[in-house]
Structure 1
Amino acid sequence: MRWGVPIAAVAVVGAAVGAGPVIAAAQGDPALPDRTAEQLLTDLAKAARDTAPPAMSGTVVETASLGLPSLPIPGGSSSSPLSLLSGSHTLKVWYGGDGRMRLALPGPMSETDVIATGKGEAWVWRSDTNTATAYTLKQGTPADRRPAHPTPPGATTPADVAAKVLEAADASTSVAVENGQHIAGRAAYQIVLTPKDSSSLVKEVKVALDGENHIPLRVQVFAKGAAEPAFEVGFTQVSFSAPAEENFAFTPPAGAKVERKTLGEEDAGGPFGAGKTPGQEAMEKNAGKVRTFGTGWATVAEVPFSLTDLSKPATGERRDRGSGDPAQVIDSLLKSAKQVSGPWGSGRVIQSKLVSALVTDDGRLLVGAVTPEALAEAAGHK
């Protein structure tokens, strides 16, 4: 489930806090013991490193309001990564320990489920295509090379986002801790991270941790000049009791197309490569050519890229030429793009509340949670 955050984040955020400890101030019910940011992050990292996640179940809701133009994404496309660009989406989670896990991404007319039985087998069920795929691990695969459990395309948990956020936190981050939070019926601490870099589009990020087991319950990302979060993912309901065993059992429905694949075989494919966004395969192909500029919140990534890469479907992707076609989504985004030029060359820039992207005419893509001016400056490093 990847509940934890990198151990290094403890030291990084500790440096951001500075000499004086930032202690959670009591704000009434639910009151929790005073903890500093360093203590909370140490507890969180220790739990991720030394213990398995507790048995639990819950409902996660992700909401994005990035300020993008109206996109041709139908409401029923909740299983598409592109759907995360706007609106609200729900993910249901069950974790039973001993390798048993279930994730369900429901939509108005479909549902994608991932079920790990705890018996060396995982199922991926897609109701829209009436297909069920069983994955087993190749015999003899070393423990350190075994893949994590698959995740439905488009699925995001508070822990996933919290880990990414804390990777960006560095000494240029102000850190505070709030007590008295109440998330999904649970008493929680809230860590508030505020970037100091003026080029960052992020005003602050709030990470709520369960007061008892330090699992991330909610992450809110606020853009500069906004009172409401531009992106939020959090539990609306959570229970830390063992889910019923039937949640981790799966029998393909009658008439379903059933496939069986072995993880670890080169041609196995699998859920780890499914549901990629347009151009993600090109990004992965050029992973060794990625350059980064800046640090922390002001980091800009550059990779060889072209507009034709954006419209190509991923391997095995089912391309629907109707509403929701990735090519149409990209076309809509590019219509809002602004032509820019400078000593570095020319291109088109797309800006949302939290992220900017620059596609240069000489075949580069630069992305970061920064202003377009910061992207242009990075583009000058050839």
Structure 2
Amino acid sequence: MSERTGRSRVTRWGVPIAAVAVVAAAVGAGPVIAAVQGEPTLPTRTAQQLLADAARAGQSGGVKPMSGTVIQTASLGLPGLPDISGAGGSSPAALLAGSHELKVWYGGADRLRLALPGRMSETDLIVNGDQVWLWQSETNEATRIKGVDRGTESKHASALPSATTPQQAAQEVLSRAATDTVVSVSNTERVADRPAYQLVLAPKDSASLVKEVRLALDGETFVPLRVQVYAKSAAEPAFEVGFTSITFTPPAAENFTFTPPAGAKVTERNADEPGEQDQARQERQRKLEGDLKVVGQGWTSVAVLPFSVKDLGANAAQKADGEGEDATAVATALLGSAKQVSGPWGSGRVIQTKLLSALLTDDGRLLVGAVTPEKLQEAAARG
């Protein structure tokens, strides 16, 4: 991983300025009515003011050193999911259900540590100046990334592809919010024992399966502390990622130092020479981006890409560390609950959870979105 890659994770600790502008346009110029009644613990601020504060906090040098623990919980209502947690529980497929923990230490632009604990293992990314380590306890392997160049865009893939922070989730949510969003704000929240503002974003379009998204911003630093996504007709969040504890003080220096333990397999790699797994991931990502189409926009956008049932086996063969097998097991379980549908667009099978719908057409397309099955079929007819 290059230093730029490590720092790209650091910049996600603030709400992106571009996303702020999109949401600000949705809010309008008038004051916002508080969504929660009670004794205010923070000064009253409009959504526009909060988003501007968050944008400043996300700029270079705006994020204070901090450390904390993040919990991600998913309850998507997936039918018949197999046990895919495995020893590490860190594959993307494993994060579709249950709760998962991420520990974070941020000491500045060049000092970052992320730890993803598993059931009997831990994966760590440690960035300390030009020293970048990836440690995987399950396989007792340590990889040192050398040749870091500040001015070179890294080709190295994300070291922790399944780790999600509230900042990353906030970025995704705000990128979807547009003029079809109702936005309100409250100033009486507490997250990780800190006073927080809460933005509530609710889609106007009834075709969206999202009831609302609640985004909590720290009352002092305006760093995103928690993101909760609520599906319609559900009392609990279908997806939630947030800090359970956070401290805005510089972490101790030893958190950013790493020495491979005795007996560990140690390898070195240049920042511009990704490993085999990274190369495979990058190739799949390039192919996906080349084939992917998006129908619609905002909350009701639908992703469309070429796909068929036989692709599952091919994908499993390309992926390592059980990730492909996990994904195939999940897909097989979901297909077992699929319903046959047809229309002017053709025929296929549709799957609906609390928050997502997927349509696998018989002519080889996969359509996915946080929308009703009817909206998927409408998108299938459009292309």
Superposed pair shares fold, TM > 0.5 = yes
- Which moved further from structure 2: 76-85 or 182-191? 76-85
Does the aligned pair in 1 maintain the 2:277–2:320 contact within 8 Å? no
Matches within 5 A, 1:1-382: 1=10, 2-22=12-32, 24=34, 31-72=41-82, 73-74=84-85, 76-118=87-129, 120-137=130-147, 139=149, 142-143=151-152, 145-146=153-154, 150-265=158-273, 268-269=274-275, 282=284, 284-311=286-313, 312-313=315-316, 315=318, 317-319=320-322, 325-382=326-383
Q: CA deviation at 1:306?
A: 2.2
1:142 partner letter:
G
| Partner secondary structure for residue 311 of structure 2 | helix
- The structure-2 alpha-carbon separation of the partners of 1:38 and 1:273, relative to structure 1 and needing over 3 Å to count, comes to farther
Residues 320 and 163 (structure 1), Cα distance of their counterparts in 2 relative to 1, 3 Å cut: closer
Residues 1:370 and 1:362: Cα distance change in structure 2 (over 3 Å):
same
- Pick which of 20-29 and 348-357 moved more: 20-29
After the TM superposition, which of the residue ranges 126-135 and 371-380 deviates more from structure 2? Answer: 126-135
SS state of the match for residue 47, structure 1?
helix
Opposite residue 53 of structure 2, the aligned amino acid is D
Supply the distance in 1 between the matched residues of 2:99 and 2:368 (Cα, whole angstroms): 24
Q: Which digits, 9 at most, give the CA deviation of each residue in 1:34-83, with x for residues without a partner? A: 11111111111122124242111000000000000232213644211111
> What is the CA–CA distance in structure 2 between the aligned matches of 1:309 and 1:9, rounded to whole Å?
35
1:281 to partner: Cα distance: 5.6
SS in 1 for 2:13: coil
Specify whether residues 79 and 26 from structure 1 end up closer, same or farther in structure 2 by C-alpha distance, changes over 3 A only.
Answer: closer
CA-to-aligned-CA distance 1:284-329 (integer Å, 9 cap, x gap):
40412322111110111111222233332375612389xx633222
Distance 1:223 1:345, change over 3 A: same
Deviation by residue 1:106-126 (Cα, 9 ceiling, x = unmatched): 1221111111122x1211111
Percent identical pairs in the alignment equals 59
- Cα distance per residue 1:179-223 (max 9 Å; x no partner): 111110111000000000010000000000001111100000000
Q: CA deviation at 1:364?
A: 1.3
CA contact (8 A) 1:78 1:105 kept: no
TM-score scaled by structure 1? 0.90
- Whole-angstrom distance in 1 between the partners of 2:222 and 2:54: 6
Shift of 1:14: 2.0
For residue 370 of structure 1, what is the amino acid of its counterpart? V
Q: How far apart, CA to CA, are the structure 1 residues paired with 2:157 and 2:340?
A: 42
Matched to 1:300, the amino acid is V
Provide the rounded CA distance (Å) in 1 between the counterparts of 2:42 and 2:17. Answer: 24
TM-score of the superposed pair, with normalisation by structure 2: 0.90
Going from structure 1 to structure 2, the CA distance change for 1:255 and 1:53 (only over 3 Å counts) comes to same
Cα distance 1:13–1:77, how it changes in 2: closer, same or farther (>3 A)?
Answer: same
RMSD: 2.4
CA distance in 2, matches of 1:309, 1:44: 42
Structure 2 regions of 5+ residues with no counterpart? 1-9
Report the Cα distance in structure 1 between the residues aligned to 2:46 and 2:156, rounded to whole angstroms: 31
Kept in 2, the 8 Å contact 1:282–1:309? The answer is: no
Which structure carries more helix by proportion? 2
Residues 67, 353 of structure 1: 8 Å contact kept: yes
Query: What is the SS of the residue equivalent to 2:99?
Result: strand
Q: Which runs of 5+ in 1 are unaligned?
A: none
Identify if the C-alpha distance between structure 1 residues 153 and 271 changes in structure 2 by more than 3 Å, giving closer, same or farther: farther
Q: CA deviation at 1:253?
A: 1.3
